[in-house]
Amino acid sequence: MDERAFDPVRKQVPTRTTVVWRNTGSADHVVDSVQFHDIADQWQFRTQTLRSGDSAVYVFDQEGIYEYYCGLQGETMCGVILVGDVSLPESLPCE
């Protein structure tokens, strides 16, 4: 993540993948799970405040659509992890 965006916004990974969110900008961020679309999974994840250089990790063991946003910047800064053979044809609020 940088100042105002997760990069990439969409990431396709196989199951049992560890995803790392690293703050490369100067603004603080919080990675917070959310469900923008009905087909997305409901999951519980919230990081502490990530300052510049901080990172957070999560292991995705189950196939699914995992949406998230920055709890400080709001829905204009969001992303999705697509785990396994899934797709999300709809746009995210930040796209």
Q: Would you state the CATH architecture of domain 10-83? A: Sandwich (2.60)
Helix (H, G, I), strand (E, B) or coil at 82: strand
The pTM (predicted TM-score) of the whole model is 0.96
pLDDT tens-digit profile of 16-31?
999 999 999 999 999 9
The phi-psi region of residue 93 (left if phi > 0; otherwise alpha if psi is between -120 and 50; otherwise beta) is alpha
Q: Considering only CA atoms, which of 84, 81, 42 is closest in space to residue 58?
A: 81
Cβ count near 63 (within 10 Å): 13
d(CA 29, CA 5): 10
pLDDT tens-digit profile of 37-47?
999 999 999 99
Q: Where are the alpha helices (DSSP H) in the chain?
A: none
